[in-house]
Amino acid sequence: MLIALLSAFVFGAVAFAAGKPIIWKANDRAILKVTGMKPPKSWSILEDEKQKSRVLVQMDNHYVLLDAKTKQAFEMSPSQIRAHGKNYESINPADTEKPLPSEDWDMRDIGPAERIQARLTTNNILLDVELPHPLNLHIP
């Protein structure tokens, strides 16, 4: 048991060191709509600090990375995500994982928000994420 735990820790450290980590920032104003499954009891949306077309959707204990630019989705385990100050960091699953089958990708500005949609075809689940634009408080 101890050997398995130690090897998991070492593997995790090597995986984080292998590529440049993604820094995720929580978006408390985001809206998540899920069609095709029972609504999650808890959820959150994390945004990539550098690529706004990439979000990490947390539903209960499941994490799905949606990359609207490459039109790929990846399932991530909670062990691949760790706290980094008040933000989070993870490896880029595109470097090591096979993408989930997905279709019906759409990313567009819908006025007050940016919308990312994708259908995960294995379970026929439609994820619809709305990321409100930052408030513009400049006085003309």
Percentage of the chain exceeding pLDDT 90: 74
pLDDT tens digits, one per residue of 93-103: 988 899 999 99
pLDDT tens digits, one per residue of 22-47: 999 999 999 999 999 999 999 999 99
For the chain, list the strands marked E by DSSP. 22-26, 31-35, 43-48, 54-59, 62-67, 72-76, 81-84, 87-90, 102-109, 113-120, 125-132
pTM (global) more than 0.85: no
The sheet carrying 62-67 orders its strands as 72-76, 62-67, 54-59, 43-48, 22-26, 87-90, 81-84
